[in-house]
A and B are shown apart, each in its own frame.
Chain A
Amino acid sequence: MNTSTVSNAAAVHDHAHDHAPTGVMRWLTSTNHKDIGTLYLWFSLFMFFFAGALAMLIRAELFQPGLQLFQPTVFNQLTTMHGLIMIFGAIMPSLVGFANWQVPLMIGAPDMAFPRLNNWSFWLLPAAGVLLISTFFVPGGAIAGGWTMYPPLFMQGGIAYDMSILAVHILGVSSIMGAINIIVTILNMRAPGMTLMKMPMFVWTWLITAFLLVAVMPVLACAITMLLTDRNFGTHFFDASGGGDPVMFQHVFWFFGHPEVYIMILPAFGIVSTIIPTFARKPLFGYVSMVYAVASIAFLSFIVWAHHMFTTGMPLGGQLFFMYTTMLIAIPTGIKVFNWVATLWRGSISFETPMLFSLAFVFLFTIGGFSGLVLALVPVDIQLQDTYYVVAHFHYVLFSGSAMAIMGGVYYWLPKWTGHMYDEKLGKVHFWLTAIAFNITFFPMHFLGLAGMPRRIPDYALQFAEFNMIASLGGFLLGASQLLFLYVVIKCVRGGIAAGNQPWDGADTLEWTQTSPPPYHSFVTPPLVK
């Protein structure tokens, strides 16, 4: 192995040395945060299309009442795998991809703190992905118990269940190592002068997200390890006859699961908090309150988990506690939404594609937040549990929240990453198609849920037919629109108008002081931040 040092004096000579691997080895063995970030982003895009294809199949089955295409078991496999892959394969890796690319650039660091570990965190994902996706082809088919893996249903079923548990274990290892890397990078590698309260908002959100990951991924590992031993080694953790309790799984799982949903939204907040000031040409309003709001949301995420379980049995005191803590989250979230709007106030606003996505985020995520407040109310939740209202709610926060912020972030930083401007016209077309199709797909689901349509079923009563047909048509349009996204991204990677160092005149974070694309090793000498 080559043992070159990255000394300042020898930098030029040694860098030529470091570049050596080309072709596939460059990607397999990379210790470069930009290359690894690119890998994360492409992997998540592939998984987004894979899980999206599953969603198309779900919407095709639900286009009309009756069983058209799939047996119920296959349908359950589709919904389960759609959820699991979107969460662990698409949203989370793409946000880690952003962290990889942007955190070192934004804090003026030469790379991540642990470059080799960084590579391992990424390459565990395809390993887990292969394990997970191959379950479609094993005897008995893929897991069909829902992404939440509740026992006792998850006790039944074949080898796919064990494979999926082990795949989630590998994903957890990847997440923990990735999160430790991000925390250490932020704590230890900031440029001189960049105090914590001078960090860009995106970096703050990732610091707190990474803390959440380190805190809760091990708890998920506990939950699924107990599932594995209950399935294979005769333990009775979730079996009442042995003194265990299936509800215990739900507690352990959601202790992970609720912080997990903030893991998927906080970095998206960070992206939006970066884009809105740029295109409003004003500094972010209430920076300090934004930091405290994110920290409060993270803290509260540990004491709200049982609001996912209001119908599974809980003392009244417990229900009230979890209802109130859940509603408390509206306060820091409200602060954030207020600050985004206040940043726009009297700004010199322009509406490039990233800004369109961010504005849509503020509007649509807030709708998802409000439906979350509705679901936090115990008596209402007992009516709406496991209906399409819940499906509508979490797609408003996860698609028009996380996914649309991610797309906005991709448009925002593509010029920096590739050195080329993306096609603004096509980007806008993609935005409008996505925003409109998204609402056609998911807004009717609120009505379906309020009318009592249960989730996770391939067939439904006739009175739900119209809204389902509308949702399916919207879904197909939404899916097709993302092909345009793929086209715009590939077109931008392959060429386009030169972006220059700083294509957005309102941007003021450190990455814009670098060339576009930045040199292979950026900030070998750390910049001084005043």
Chain B
Amino acid sequence: MQAHNNAYYVPPPSIWPIVGSVALLTLAVGFALVLNKVAVGSLVMALGAGILLIMLFGWFGAVIKESLAGKYARQVDTSFRWGMVWFIFSEVMFFAGFFGALFYARNLALPGLADAQSLWPGFSAAWPTTGPGLKTVITPVNAWGIPALNTLILLSSGATLTWAHWGLQKDRQRQLKLGLALTIALGILFIGLQIHEYGEAAFTIRDGIYGATFYMLTGFHGFHVMMGSVMLIVILLRSLAGHFTPGRHFAFEAVAWYWHFVDVIWLLLFIFVYCL
């Protein structure tokens, strides 16, 4: 689909941003109420989530409609690419913060606590630990069980997604759809195994710095896999609707970049959270 002309498309006024703001405000108020045990909180949160869903449908719907109508000239396409790149960079920095917390705790905070023998007699900085004040002994998840399997699954999903992309580039729609479906299946399998692992784990988020860093890092990663899976499902549905051509399929590529980013984060998690 060709753009009508080369002018940069400036969309007409849109209701969705303000709807999104109302959604986030409602969600935040609801969450604050839930955290402070106000009964109505979960209702307010559900309302906020509902408004957010409506906004996402409406906003992305408008973008897809404009894209199909050929309104996005090449320059707009470049904007979308840059936008996604910088969004992923912000996500990298988000995870970098939590990895930083993990490294700080292991290499600076715990040795410091172990040095303070007059305060915490007998405490040594061995990892995993729940810290000097909590006496729980941590049995970590065996890295070569489910986590290794999950590594294999996510890496394979990266491969199937690339295979799907090749299909799209060569206009083999069957390969595209099959590749996407496989990727989604692997993503959901990953999430299922992760939930199973959480259920089996012998420690909780309350168990000292180990539990905190473990669940924070793997939890946020798992949340990103879920988001990525939803995005892939949308892309599959759009593929079924025939939205993508070998020449124009930025939405597919954006989601693929995101999926590979989530993949790389998992590799770092596997090394620094599970193995080391």
- The answer to whether A7 touches B4, judged by C-beta atoms less than 8 angstroms apart, is yes
B45 to chain A, nearest CB (A): 11
- The answer to whether A218 touches B14, judged by C-beta atoms less than 8 angstroms apart, is no
* B94, B132, B204 — most chain A CB neighbours (10 Å): B94
> In the complex, A409 Cα to B198 Cα: how many Å?
55
> In the complex, A115 Cα to B71 Cα: how many Å?
14
Closest B residue to A122 by beta carbon equals: B17
Chain B residues within an 8 Å CB radius of A216: 93
Chain A residues within an 8 Å CB radius of B7: 5-8, 110, 524
> In the complex, A27 Cα to B87 Cα: how many Å?
26
> In the complex, A216 Cα to B204 Cα: how many Å?
29
> In the complex, A241 Cα to B212 Cα: how many Å?
13
> In the complex, A504 Cα to B18 Cα: how many Å?
37
Closest A residue to B23 by beta carbon equals: A127
Say yes or no: is B261 at the interface (Cβ < 8 Å to chain A): no
Say yes or no: is A116 at the interface (Cβ < 8 Å to chain B): yes
Partner of B109, one of A176, A181, A243: A243
- The answer to whether A124 touches B24, judged by C-beta atoms less than 8 angstroms apart, is yes
> In the complex, A225 Cα to B4 Cα: how many Å?
46
Chain B residues within an 8 Å CB radius of A521: 10
A471 to chain B, nearest CB (A): 36
> In the complex, A274 Cα to B247 Cα: how many Å?
43
- The answer to whether A188 touches B79, judged by C-beta atoms less than 8 angstroms apart, is yes
Q: Which A100-135 residues have C-beta < 8 A from chain B?
A: 109-111, 113-117, 119-120, 123-124, 126-128, 130-131
Q: Which A78-119 residues have C-beta < 8 A from chain B?
A: 109-111, 113-117, 119
Say yes or no: is A344 at the interface (Cβ < 8 Å to chain B): no
Q: A232 with B62: in contact, given A3-B12, A243-B110 (CB under 8 Å)?
A: no
- The answer to whether A242 touches B133, judged by C-beta atoms less than 8 angstroms apart, is yes
> In the complex, A3 Cα to B11 Cα: how many Å?
8
Q: How large is the interface on A (under 10, 10 to 19, 20 to 34, 35 or more residues)?
A: 35 or more
Closest B residue to A112 by beta carbon equals: B10
Chain B residues within an 8 Å CB radius of A162: 31-32, 35-36
- The answer to whether B205 touches A243, judged by C-beta atoms less than 8 angstroms apart, is no
Partner of B212, one of A218, A223, A229, A255: A229
- The answer to whether B12 touches A18, judged by C-beta atoms less than 8 angstroms apart, is yes
Say yes or no: is A385 at the interface (Cβ < 8 Å to chain B): no
Closest A residue to B98 by beta carbon equals: A222
Say yes or no: is B251 at the interface (Cβ < 8 Å to chain A): no
> In the complex, A169 Cα to B25 Cα: how many Å?
11
- The answer to whether A235 touches B211, judged by C-beta atoms less than 8 angstroms apart, is yes
- The answer to whether B113 touches A127, judged by C-beta atoms less than 8 angstroms apart, is no
- The answer to whether A170 touches B13, judged by C-beta atoms less than 8 angstroms apart, is no
- The answer to whether B129 touches A170, judged by C-beta atoms less than 8 angstroms apart, is no
Say yes or no: is A252 at the interface (Cβ < 8 Å to chain B): yes
* B5, B87, B90 — most chain A CB neighbours (10 Å): B90
Q: Determine, out of A28-36, A48-56, A276-284, A473-481, the stretch whose residues face the partner at the interface.
A: A28-36
Chain A residues within an 8 Å CB radius of B205: 229, 233-235
B120 to chain A, nearest CB (A): 8
Q: Determine, out of B100-108, B146-154, B164-172, B174-182, the stretch whose residues face the partner at the interface.
A: B100-108
- The answer to whether B13 touches A30, judged by C-beta atoms less than 8 angstroms apart, is yes
- The answer to whether A117 touches B17, judged by C-beta atoms less than 8 angstroms apart, is yes
Q: A240 with B131: in contact, given A124-B24, A166-B28, A170-B24 (CB under 8 Å)?
A: yes
Q: How large is the interface on B (under 10, 10 to 19, 20 to 34, 35 or more residues)?
A: 35 or more
Closest B residue to A523 by beta carbon equals: B8
Say yes or no: is B253 at the interface (Cβ < 8 Å to chain A): no
Say yes or no: is A384 at the interface (Cβ < 8 Å to chain B): no
- The answer to whether A184 touches B131, judged by C-beta atoms less than 8 angstroms apart, is no
- The answer to whether B12 touches A235, judged by C-beta atoms less than 8 angstroms apart, is no
Q: Which B34-91 residues have C-beta < 8 A from chain A?
A: 35-36, 59, 62, 65-66, 69, 71, 75, 78-79, 82-83, 86-87, 89-91
Say yes or no: is A312 at the interface (Cβ < 8 Å to chain B): no
Say yes or no: is B142 at the interface (Cβ < 8 Å to chain A): no
Chain A residues within an 8 Å CB radius of B213: 237
Say yes or no: is B29 at the interface (Cβ < 8 Å to chain A): yes
> In the complex, A498 Cα to B66 Cα: how many Å?
40
Contact with B along A175-213 (1 / 0, CB 8 A): 010011101100111000000000000000000000000
- The answer to whether B79 touches A127, judged by C-beta atoms less than 8 angstroms apart, is no
Say yes or no: is A251 at the interface (Cβ < 8 Å to chain B): yes
Q: A188 with B82: in contact, given A7-B7, A162-B36, A242-B212 (CB under 8 Å)?
A: yes
Chain A residues within an 8 Å CB radius of B59: 116
Partner of B79, one of A189, A248, A251, A255: A189
Chain A residues within an 8 Å CB radius of B86: 179-180, 183-184, 214
Say yes or no: is A144 at the interface (Cβ < 8 Å to chain B): no
> Which 5 residue pairs are nearest across A and B when measured between Cβ atoms?
A241-B133, A243-B131, A222-B97, A243-B209, A120-B17
What are 12 A-B contacts with C-beta separation under 8 Å?
A6-B9, A124-B21, A127-B21, A170-B25, A234-B206, A235-B212, A240-B133, A242-B207, A243-B109, A243-B129, A252-B100, A252-B104
A residues with CB within 8 A of B: 1-9, 17-18, 20-21, 25-26, 28-32, 109-111, 113-117, 119-120, 123-124, 126-128, 130-131, 158-159, 162-163, 166-167, 169-170, 173, 176, 179-181, 183-184, 187-189, 214-219, 221-223, 225-226, 228-229, 231-237, 239-245, 247-248, 251-252, 255, 521, 524
B residues with CB within 8 A of A: 4-5, 7-18, 20-22, 24-25, 28-29, 31-33, 35-36, 59, 62, 65-66, 69, 71, 75, 78-79, 82-83, 86-87, 89-91, 93-94, 96-98, 100-101, 104-105, 108-110, 112-113, 129-134, 204-213, 215-216
12 further interface pairs, Cβ-Cβ under 8 Å (given A173-B24, A188-B82):
A3-B66, A25-B13, A31-B13, A31-B14, A113-B83, A127-B24, A218-B93, A236-B131, A236-B206, A240-B132, A245-B104, A245-B113
